[in-house]
Chains A and B, each alone.
Chain A
Amino acid sequence: MTDTPTPDDGLLPSAPGTTPDPVQRGERHGMFGATAGADTSGYGGLVSPILFPGAAVRPYGGGFDELADAIEATSAAGAITRTVIDRGEMTIFVRREDLSAVMQALRDEPSLRFELCLSVSGVNYPTDAGAELHVVYHLMSITHGCRRLRVEVTAPDSDPRVPSVVSTYPAADWHERETWDMFGIIFDGHPALTRILMPDDWPGHPQRKDYPLGGIPVEFKGGSVPPPDQRRSYN
């Protein structure tokens, strides 16, 4: 397997009509993933782009055209900035200010009828300038035979705000709170946007890429953890 597969080497199964016009999100240095120590392999100087699947081109095939038509017919012009068909899944990128209207239409229009908002979560792409924070919604329509759709909205780090969809999908309540907790994305209009998994007074948002794994001093209210040599021992 090569370091950065491109859609035409057969590793990325693409839908019919998809052009290999991927979106670059960052680049990869070296070949073996090691960053510490001197490079003795000669491969350390390699730089290759990280290419995510790009916008699909009509016809999409696989029943996605019908869905895309219905979405386009019910949303404002320009609300859908990109449609990606990849690995048999459809993702629509929605302009932030149009999210509420698009979600409302996705739920209510008979041709769409996505009854369930199964999940809301965040992804942090530090190298995606101006769109560092992505919010990903997974919708499902039971009416249309378990049809699935992924909706993605981006926000820059400097203005991490996304409209809340709780008024449309009450199920998104806790999911949005988790996304705020983990990524610091503010959901405007959420009824009670508070931390849900981390303690109320926790500083930082742990699942952002600039947040380290471990090494965070943990403090319990009014208590502390003694150094290892001062702890109770049983021998």
Chain B
Amino acid sequence: MSTQRTDSSVFESADFDSHETPDIFAAPGEDAGARVFTAQGGDWDDIVGDVGSLPEERIVVNMGPQHPSTHGVLRLILELEGETVTEARAGIGYLHTGIEKNMEFRTWVQGVTFCTRMDYVMPLFTETAYCLAVEKLLGITDEVPERASAIRVLMMELNRITSHLVCMGTGGMEMGATTVMTVGFRERERILSIFEMISGLRMNHAYIRPGGVAQDLPAGSIQAIREMMPLLRKGFHELELLMNENPILKGRTVGVGYLDLAGCMALGITGPVLRSAGLPHDLRKAAPYCGYENYDFDVVTRTGADAYDRLRNRIDEMYQSLDIIEQVIDVLQGHAGPVMVADKKIAWPAQLAIGSDGMGNSLAHIKEIMGTSMESLIHHFKLVTEGFRVPPGQAYAAVESPKGELGCHLVSDGGTRPFRAHFREPSFNNLQAVAAMCEGSQVADVIVAVASIDPVMGGVDR
């Protein structure tokens, strides 16, 4: 309930004793139509005193865009009657960075480094959706090596756990449960170390590439994952003990943010929110990709359709992810093989090795292009600077992300860059449910309901 602005001119005319300010959200010259108060933090009692002196019953509160409980720069516009929310709307766009437009000006491979920055909590899902769409356009879906698909599954399932941990950690913190946050982020850190070991980066990996993955798993990574698994299980159990039957948490979440199946269908909601309403819809089962049909796991559903069941669903999904990871590392350990398509006109020329400084280089490849084969050098130069061409047409590929269906719609005009790239972000779509979940509830429930949707503004605004 605080709004900030660095421009001091806004406050020049303001009477600081009463916290009354001009409407900083109004267009230039627009009349706010009512008295406006700006909370700066720590002054809540004064604000309440001032607002209480107003004759109006109806109060509109701008919660955000800068508010610790709104998951980033989300602006919630709430119409209140006392503590009850009579109308709720979400205002977004404060983190719009034009990633889709930028992708039209970079090669198909460079597109990965852009889209990985959309939803920074689940970057590997965005990368995979994008690469699956590019592969569909190229017609090489069946030529992606099995090992590359298995590595994608491994990375995605690890990423699903980190995303759910962030959701629960931040959600818990927003309710005042700091321990949920510290435990969640502690466990997430284990997986980020694995990500760093494999891709060189903790986030924004650009690891999954059209045709496969950037490089094979480095030596020792499977062993590191095996050693991490019992620790993760222990951490998840700790979270369960902390939350599952916690009377305070249940009091805050049971029956809060209710959205039944009809509401989910109308609003296009997918993911844990849909599964909390009882429908076992999961693209990994319903329309498998990357070889998900080869792994044994359950789709977790509950029927409460509230924030509590979504939370429980997420915990159970993390255990299911661990099961998938155990199966996939068995596959990866037994079978060596290529991790990039064989087509040299698409595959990135060098298999980079990770050095002690993170991302390294391939000495064998440098020797070849600089010492022995000029054609290799030309090929490398053309592929890296100009990029490969993709036949004209359009394709849509979707993956089951931790937040729901993450789709990528790509249009190619036969060039070396996407003609149009659009992402169907689950956070963007699901945030539409705020009104349905929050109207009629208490202000404090809004925070819980929004946290149960698990929106990440990087994905919402792109």
Contact = CB atoms under 8 A, between A and B. Distances in A.
**Chain A bound to chain B:** yes
Contacts of B101: 206-207, 213
A25 B420 CA distance: 14
Nearest to B7: A223
B411 A118 contact: no
6 contacts: A11-B139, A119-B422, A136-B422, A174-B428, A199-B93, A206-B101
A122 B461 CA distance: 16
Given A50-B392, A197-B96, A213-B105, A115 B265 contact: yes
Interface stretch (A63-71, A94-102, A165-173): A165-173
Nearest to B138: A11
A216 B287 CA distance: 42
Nearest to B345: A1
B291 interface: no
Interface stretch (A38-46, A75-83, A144-152, A155-163): A144-152
Interface string B204-246: 0000000000000000000000000000000000000000000
B416 interface: yes
Contacts of A198: 93, 96
A26 interface: yes
B10 interface: yes
Contacts of B92: 196-197
A193 to B, nearest CB: 15
Given A145-B286, A150-B396, A1 B388 contact: yes
Given A116-B268, A145-B286, A51 B392 contact: yes
Interface in A158-209: 169-175, 178, 195-201, 206-207
Nearest to A6: B391
A131 interface: no
Nearest to B91: A196
A49 B24 CA distance: 51
A12 B391 contact: yes
Given A123-B411, A200-B27, A201-B27, A12 B386 contact: no
B365 interface: no
A121 B425 CA distance: 12
Contacts of A200: 27
B413 A174 contact: no
Contacts of A169: 266, 268
A149 to B, nearest CB: 10
Contacts of B98: 206, 213
B422 A146 contact: no
Contact-residue size bin, chain A (C-beta under 8 Å from the other chain): 35 or more
A226 interface: no
B283 A5 contact: no
Contacts of A207: 100-101, 420
A140 B397 CA distance: 12
Contact of A171 (B136, B286, B409, B429): B429
Contact of A123 (B93, B420, B428, B431): B420
Given A116-B265, A123-B420, 19 more contacts: A1-B389, A4-B414, A25-B392, A28-B413, A33-B386, A50-B413, A51-B392, A87-B393, A88-B136, A117-B268, A118-B424, A123-B419, A196-B92, A197-B92, A199-B93, A207-B420, A221-B27, A223-B6, A223-B7
Nearest to B425: A119
A13 interface: yes
Interface string B402-439: 00010101010111100110101000110110000000
A28 B104 CA distance: 16
A86 interface: yes
B424 A119 contact: yes
A141 to B, nearest CB: 11
Interface string B370-405: 000000000000000010110111111010000001
Given A11-B139, A222-B7, A171 B386 contact: no
Contacts of A145: 286
Given A87-B136, A198-B96, A28 B415 contact: yes
B409 A221 contact: no
B9 interface: yes
A33 B105 CA distance: 12
A44 B407 CA distance: 37
Among B98, B414, B462, residue most surrounded by chain A Cβ atoms (within 10 Å): B414
B391 A11 contact: yes
B461 A197 contact: yes
B98 to A, nearest CB: 6
Among A1, A32, A88, A178, residue most surrounded by chain B Cβ atoms (within 10 Å): A1
A164 to B, nearest CB: 15
B279 interface: yes
A174 B429 contact: yes
